[in-house]
Chain A
């Protein structure tokens, strides 16, 4: 009788190598096949739960096959199922049979980021009352911290429109080929993940704020990217969805900083 460790290692290895014989001490072979099948089915189900829009786009049967191949090639590295599927969008991008559907991988990435935002950390919104009392002269040098679940995803494809109609509509709306790409901000201020299209320079603005660029400079860069950029509107949007969780003011006189 092999040791328990040897037994477990060969058992696990045999799950991922269907051509190998079942591990010593397991019989009959058929029972092991049932176990292996359940492992695959469970992982495929978790991918189905995580990528429902991709599944709807390619159909259940194709998705199951495609997910099965992914599971075979990239079995989970961690026992935490929540982390499984991060590589699925990349897998789709390189998957030959869907090369004619180049928007699938970007939509999968949006679904993955939705999942990440859903499970990301909570944060308090910034103290707008404290912000309003800052000296006016300090406001242009403000920097902000964004909510930890805030993520910006830019795509050459209309990923949010595709996601929306496939998530909410029983009969999906037609999205014309060649529709302009979309930049999406994901944030989960409370219990629901918000997905917002960022247009007219707001994408540039938020991206720079996220990198720690000061308010005036981020606004100037956004203005340069789009003449329709509206600073007050952009900030109001960020306050409203609580995408900002703190600010950092540099005192004009002595260079000291206050954090809130």
Chain B
């Protein structure tokens, strides 16, 4: 390939990539906030009340801390608590 062909191939890939990434951002539609399933320090941003940002939850499966999970999977995500009982995540912060 001569230099011009290379240039066009690169430009083609770049434009394809731009087109692919400028499609409406779907990320938010495919995730849901799931409370009560995040391990300590692994929550996503903005829990309700006890801390303000990602990675700040202090306890495993904190009922007020959330994690983004694929939509529709939250309430079937089971976690095993230290006392051996299991419970599912919820879409709203759990009452204590």
Listed in ascending order, the chain A residues whose CB lies under 8 Å from chain B are 49, 52, 118, 128, 131-132, 136-137, 139-140, 142, 167-168, 170-171, 191-193, 215-216, 219, 231-236, 238-240
**In which size bucket is the chain B interface?**
20 to 34
From known contacts A118-B54, A216-B7, infer whether A192 and B45 are also in contact, taking CB-CB under 8 Å. yes
A191–B22 CB distance below 8 A: no
How many A-B pairs fall under 8 Å by CB?
A: 83
Determine the residue in chain A with the shortest Cβ distance to B55. Answer: A118
Minimum CB–CB distance for A242 against chain B, Å: 9
- Over the window 38-67 of chain B, the binary record of Cβ atoms lying under 8 Å from chain A Cβ atoms (1 yes, 0 no) is 011110110000000111000000000000
What are the residues of chain A within 8 A of B53 when measuring CB–CB? 191
B7–A136 CB distance below 8 A: yes
* Interchain Cβ contacts under 8 Å between A and B, 5 examples: A128-B22, A137-B7, A137-B11, A193-B54, A239-B17
What are the residues of chain A within 8 A of B39 when measuring CB–CB? 52, 167-168
A232–B7 CB distance below 8 A: no
**Which 6 residue pairs are nearest across A and B when measured between Cβ atoms?**
A235-B17, A239-B21, A231-B13, A136-B11, A232-B16, A140-B10
**Interface of chain A, main secondary structure:** helix
Determine the residue in chain A with the shortest Cβ distance to B10. Answer: A140
CB-contact partner of A239 in B18, B45, B78, B79, under 8 A: B18
A192–B7 CB distance below 8 A: no
What are the residues of chain A within 8 A of B40 when measuring CB–CB? 49, 52
What are the residues of chain B within 8 A of A137 when measuring CB–CB? 4, 7, 11
Give Cα A8–Cα B20 distance, bound, in whole angstroms.
Answer: 61
Minimum CB–CB distance for B31 against chain A, Å: 11
What are the residues of chain A within 8 A of B68 when measuring CB–CB? 192
B16–A219 CB distance below 8 A: no
What are the residues of chain B within 8 A of A171 when measuring CB–CB? 80
Seed contacts A49-B40, A191-B54, A236-B21; 14 additional CB < 8 Å A-B pairs: A118-B55, A128-B22, A136-B7, A137-B4, A140-B11, A142-B14, A170-B80, A191-B53, A219-B10, A231-B14, A231-B17, A235-B13, A236-B16, A239-B20
